[in-house]
A and B are shown apart, each in its own frame.
Chain A
Amino acid sequence: MKGSHTYRHVHEWAFWGFVAPSLVLFFLFFLIPLVLSVGFSFTDYDGWKRLNFVGLANYAEMFQDKNFYYALGRTFRYTLVNLPFKVFIPLLFAMLATSSYVKGKGLARTLIYIPVLLSALVVGITINWMFSAEYGLVNFLIQKMGGKPLQWALNSNLATFVISFASNWSSAGFYMIIFMGGITNINRDLLEAASIDGANSRQTFFHITLPLLAPTTFLVVLLSTINLLKEYALVQGVTQGGPGLRTTFIIQFIIDKGFKQMQYGYASAVSFIAMIIFGIIAFVQFKVSNEGGEN
């Protein structure tokens, strides 16, 4: 009995020892700022000296601000358009990286993963240089091949394409690794049994691999959705929200209001509402996918 008490004690210590650092970080960098932010949303805080209670004035202003709705609408459109690429491209990479027929898998995996290690702002600035209308590498190559240079920065569709390209390029490696984990966890016996029963690779993929990857796919969809909704550093590096305000998404709207215009209270109100909207989207995803395929 004494032994089992000591054993539980050791387990408890070990548990708290491993969890404590994450808990501390969670408190410091999420919970406390969240509480502060909600508090500021009811004030006219300018980030420094002015702090007066204004009740729901910030929320009232936000719901009448057409730029808020435009930014939110652009964010949703951007997310919907890019989500399929965030799932299918890494899945394709993962299938190739785990296939016995593909040579040079190790090198390919490394090259695909390297962009994940770069900061989003560095990616954005590098892509901006590559796609610069005047001196960019892409337009240089297009002209060398006899084509006309494209106005990446002036056409909002092209500008959004450039951001999407940068976003997919920088994150494909991360989601590929997640899919690879899911694929390698599939019981080999099932795949062998399918092969013995005469299933070809397409049938195996659609009827065995893909269904068994449901929880992994759900995780990738959820993470991609949240990251697309929160896209900022990349946009700032590539287009700075232009042309006009055509690539100003909701996070940039919040940062402009808070840090450039010193309207911390208003920005806090917008970010709180944005958090609720993103939470609802994540909740809907959970329910639609039967809680990640677990049920």
Chain B
Amino acid sequence: MEKSHGLMRTMKDELSLGGAIMRRFLSVFLVLIMASTFVFANGSAESKETSQSGRTLSVLLSEEPAQGDALVNALNRWAQETGNTIKQLVIPYEDQLTKFPLMAKNKDLPDLVATTRLGQLYPDEFEDITTFLDKSMFEQQALTLIGQSYTSKKYTTAPQQFTITCVYYNKDAFDKAGLKVPTADDPWTLDELYKNAKLLMDKGGVKYGIAMDGSRARYDNMMYMYGGSLVVADGNSFKVTVNSPENIKALQMFVGWNNTVMPKAIWAGGTADNPADYFKNGDVGMYFSGTWNYNTFVNEIKGMRWGVMPSPVGPKGGSAILGGSGLGVPVHAKNNDLGKAFMKWFYAKDNFQKYLNDDKGLSSLVGVTYHPQDEQVIADYQVFQTEVPKVPSAFIVDESSNWRQYYDNEYRDALKQAVNGDITPQQALTGFATMLSKKSGWSLVY
């Protein structure tokens, strides 16, 4: 009897304990329900606000806009004029290949995309800009290079920032080293550039004679100066020339530069440092970059005199690479019409002129040119113009092959390994050539 009594008491205790546990679980569950209701209520309250205060144009940018960014200024002017708002969505360049397809799959695309490559990689996702903009208003070279998809020939983006590679130089270091800036009529050879880079390090007070963005395109200029290329046309197809003797010489020179006059860690990998910061800090004599940095440097470099110099010439001549970013409207964007409306406004001559005055870059619109007022800016702009004829035909052929659809990072990895000394330049280029040939089906020349 006592035993059953005890058992009953134990069961009663356990039941009440179980009940207490259930009550606690229910109360936690209720709190979670309330919290999620609060979140969703907030969310829907936000979207109500958006529709009441005009529409929102979501814009995808490739990097955090710098102070005085020309495109952001244009977006803000449009927003003020039309009573709409802008929502910036920054997806870094390296992450776009992952995130953009996911956004497209989920039909969660921004209304406007400022991009260097998404329009060419995913042409089906973008509107054909010629359906709402007049093709003839654009400089044809800019429109083809930036806006045309190589697979479908559709114009998926309109050129927004038309850029060219260029060389910035540290005037204070040049003066200290007693160096005269080369002119467009008398540019330096690669050997002279190297010799003067060493002089800048010895006497100019800089840590590095030369710095280059860790971008494959910056290296490619060296390759073209040596007369090399990645492919050559072969009827309707191409042949791989990545490991040509000219390319190997170019990479050998580049590896030598990295070991002596350049910050090796940028090209060898292992650091997230931006060589633009090295130049801004006055640690670099000559910085190989592009016109997209010009406006940033004008706004941000205050403690140092600097300018733009003509790029050097190699054994087979000079080289400059055209490029830039374009504006495109995704087909499945929620406010697709707003994106088109912005683009029509943006490419109106007056508005594009204001944008160009901020950007201080090359114009992609016929009849619209940047007219700088500042003497120094005028001089720098003239140097940019002299770079345009240097664009080699080999670059146009390489671009038309769209080789990057097969491999892209692997080329950069091969260059990294060569600069780091893990493999020889010949091994690096031959390895990549073999991979590209196998994947693309193009035969090897060497």
Contacts and interface: CB of A to CB of B under 8 A. Distances in A.
A80 B395 CA distance: 47
A24 interface: no
Interface in B253-303: 263-265, 268-273, 277-278, 281, 283
Q: B263, B270, B413: which has the most chain A beta carbons within 10 Å?
A: B270
B409 A260 contact: yes
Quick one: which of A10, A133, A134, A159 has the most chain B CB within 10 A? A134
A151 B207 CA distance: 14
Given A14-B18, A246-B420, A260-B97, A240 B269 contact: yes
SS of A interface (majority): loop
B407 A261 contact: yes
Contacts of A48: 101, 104-105
Interface in A140-197: 151-154, 159
A19 B14 CA distance: 20
Nearest to A242: B269
Contacts of A132: 271, 273
A128 to B, nearest CB: 5
B22 interface: yes
Interface in B90-115: 94, 97-98, 101, 104-105
A198 interface: no
B25 interface: yes
A75 interface: no
B154 interface: no
Contacts of B422: 244-246
A88 B105 CA distance: 47
15 contacts: A7-B15, A10-B15, A10-B19, A153-B268, A154-B264, A159-B270, A240-B271, A242-B265, A243-B416, A243-B420, A245-B422, A247-B270, A256-B409, A260-B408, A261-B409
Interface of A: 3-4, 6-7, 10-11, 13-14, 17-18, 47-48, 125, 128, 132-135, 151-154, 159, 237, 239-247, 256, 259-262
Given A3-B11, A3-B15, A154-B420, 19 more contacts: A4-B11, A6-B15, A10-B19, A11-B18, A17-B22, A17-B25, A132-B273, A134-B263, A135-B273, A153-B270, A159-B270, A240-B270, A241-B269, A242-B268, A243-B270, A245-B413, A246-B270, A247-B270, A261-B410
